[in-house]
């Protein structure tokens, strides 16, 4: 950590891409088995329409170590699976007491969060919104618009990601389209 060189990267404010990026993670519909309420619809889309790109994450060259700050952008493409809006998998940080900051760059959506103690929150995000994810809150973002929802995120280098807990339980709330409106409802599959 001591000998790490200062550096810059370039954020494209229109597309959300970062150059250079260490990694570009692509999450397709086939990567999201059982994440959407309507698993039947998810399977049908993959089979009949192909394996949609749901979101991409650009991550930079920073060591995943205490003292560093990791950062990156996420681009969630617009669309529905059944009547549920495109979203990220969502996760807790492996080290639960590690927080995160999100900054909306383009498009709009929701940041939904929950704690292991049962608290649930959702915040509307758009260009210019700065959202704070406190320690111990699982977080997922949802694109409720018709344009890519792009945001920047920064989190502690040592935080790590725990996807398993959310994969098992789901989120207490899901965001669905009803009469062309985004509606937050209880997740019937929440365990």
Binding to ligand PAN by residue 100, rule CB under 6 A?
yes
User: Among 86, 62, 91, 98, which Cα is nearest to 150's?
Assistant: 86
Pick what 96 binds: ligand PAN, Zn ion, none; C-beta below 5 to 8 Å, kind-dependent: none
- Binding part of the chain for ligand PAN, among 2-10, 39-47, 85-93, 124-132 by CB under 6 A, reads 85-93
User: Among 24, 31, 35, 16, which Cα is nearest to 140's?
Assistant: 35
- Binding part of the chain for ligand PAN, among 43-51, 89-97, 174-182, 183-191 by CB under 6 A, reads 89-97
In sequence order, the 6+-apart residues with CB closer than 8 A to the CB of 117 are none
Binding to ligand PAN by residue 72, rule CB under 6 A?
yes
Task: Indicate which single residue of 56, 155, 175, 176 sits in contact with ligand PAN (rule: CB under 6 A).
Answer: 155
Taking the CA atoms of 60, 53, 13 and 133 in sequence, report the sign of the dihedral they define. Answer: negative
Strand order in the sheet with 108-114: 120-126, 108-114, 138-143
> Total number of residues binding ligand PAN (CB under 6 A)?
13
Q: Which residues pair with 81 in a beta bridge?
A: 84
**By the criterion CB under 5 A, which residues form the site for Zn ion?**
100
**By the criterion CB under 6 A, which residues form the site for ligand PAN?**
57, 72, 74, 88-91, 100, 139, 141, 153, 155, 161
């Amino acid at each position: 950590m001591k000998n790490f060189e200062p550096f810059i990267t370039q954020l494209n404010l229109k597309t959300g891409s970062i150059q250079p990026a260490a990694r570009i993670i692509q999450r397709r519909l086939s990567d999201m088995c059982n994440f959407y309420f309507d698993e039947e619809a998810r399977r049908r889309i993959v089979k009949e329409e192909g394996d949609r790109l749901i979101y991409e994450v650009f991550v930079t060259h920073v060591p995943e170590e205490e003292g560093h700050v990791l950062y990156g952008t996420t681009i969630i493409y617009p669309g529905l699976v059944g009547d549920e809006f495109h979203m990220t998998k969502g996760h807790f940080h492996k080290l639960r007491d590690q927080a995160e900051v999100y900054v909306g760059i383009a498009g709009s959506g929701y940041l939904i969060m929950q704690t292991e103690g049962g608290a649930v929150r959702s915040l509307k995000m758009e260009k210019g919104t700065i959202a704070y994810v406190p320690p111990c809150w699982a977080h997922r973002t949802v694109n409720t618009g018709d344009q890519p929802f792009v945001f920047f995120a920064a989190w502690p280098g040592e935080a790590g990601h725990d996807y398993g807990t959310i994969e098992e339980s789901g989120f207490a709330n899901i965001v669905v389209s009803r009469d062309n409106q985004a509606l937050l409802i209880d997740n019937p599959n929440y365990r």
